[in-house]
Amino acid sequence: QKEVEQDPGPLSVPEGAIVSLNCTYSNSAFQYFMWYRQYSRKGPELLMYTYSSGNKEDGRFTAQVDKSSKYISLFIRDSQPSDSATYLCAMSRSGSARQLTFGSGTQLTVLP
Amino acid sequence: DGGITQSPKYLFRKEGQNVTLSCEQNLNHDAMYWYRQDPGQGLRLIYYSQIVNDFQKGDIAEGYSVSREKKESFPLTVTSAQKNPTAFYLCASSRTSANTGELFFGEGSRLTVL
């Protein structure tokens, strides 16, 4: 069983929809949680970063962590065609970049 | 513009050949990393380097080698010992290896073994 599970999709939604992307994990020691966005044939870029449980909002993006359920989510409001990308969750115990464990990514397409 | 430059973008290799992927950064970051990305799998760490002249194996180092002679440069050699080298390779950097998870990635190199 993988330490971090992420539904690969693909997920297609109409422009303006609310998108929910999720990851589950098995290691209860994870405390640092990230979402990276990766456009086709490009490297990932950090989108959201949270520590421990709770919510964090940045514009149209909200990251949510539920440590009791070992479940994290990324919500995208008013989705745009430019949000079409693969979204990778990543997490670690210590916050150290060298200890990140990545999910396999969810491919999202927002249709105009 | 600061960033990470990887070359080549696409590379074809015959079986039994070694190839070297280039990674250069001008972000003045201490730490650099090499990841491998395969369909349906998360990014897997091959090697990382915290400072010049030092590097450590990641989770899948077998069949790969690296060097870190300059702060800006962290080339990856895929050797003939790597059983399944066809993949998308990503180089990344962070201010330090203890940095809180923010990695800056290059645009990747796609290696195909013929």
pLDDT of residue B99: 62
Q: Is A45 helix (H, G, I), strand (E, B) or coil?
A: strand
Residue position matching structure tokens 């190839």: B19
pLDDT of residue B1: 67
pLDDT of residue B89: 97
pLDDT band per the 50, 70, 90 thresholds, residue B112: very high
Mean pLDDT score, A37-60: 92
A32–B100 C-beta distance less than 8 A:
yes
pLDDT band per the 50, 70, 90 thresholds, residue B33: very high
Do strands B10-13 and B109-113 pair parallel, antiparallel, or not at all (unpaired)? Answer: parallel
pLDDT of residue B76: 98
pLDDT at B8 over 90: yes
Q: Is pLDDT larger for residue B112 or for residue B98?
A: B112
Q: Which two tokens stand for residue B106?
A: 């290059």
> Which residues neighbour A109 within 8 Å (Cβ) at sequence distance 6 or greater?
A10, A11, A12, A13, A84
pLDDT of residue A34: 94
pLDDT at B108 over 80: yes
pLDDT at A57 over 70: yes
Q: Is A99 helix (H, G, I), strand (E, B) or coil?
A: helix
pLDDT band per the 50, 70, 90 thresholds, residue B19: very high
Mean pLDDT score, B14-18: 90
Exposure of A14 in the CB half-sphere (CA atoms within 13 A): 0
Q: Considering chain B, what is the average pLDDT of its residues?
A: 92
Interface of A with B in 37-96 (CB under 8 A): 41-46, 49, 88, 90, 92, 94-96
Q: Which residues of B touch A (CB under 8 A)?
A: 4, 6, 31, 33, 40-45, 48, 50, 56, 58, 90, 92, 94, 97-108
> Which residues neighbour A60 within 8 Å (Cβ) at sequence distance 6 or greater?
A76, A77, A78, A79
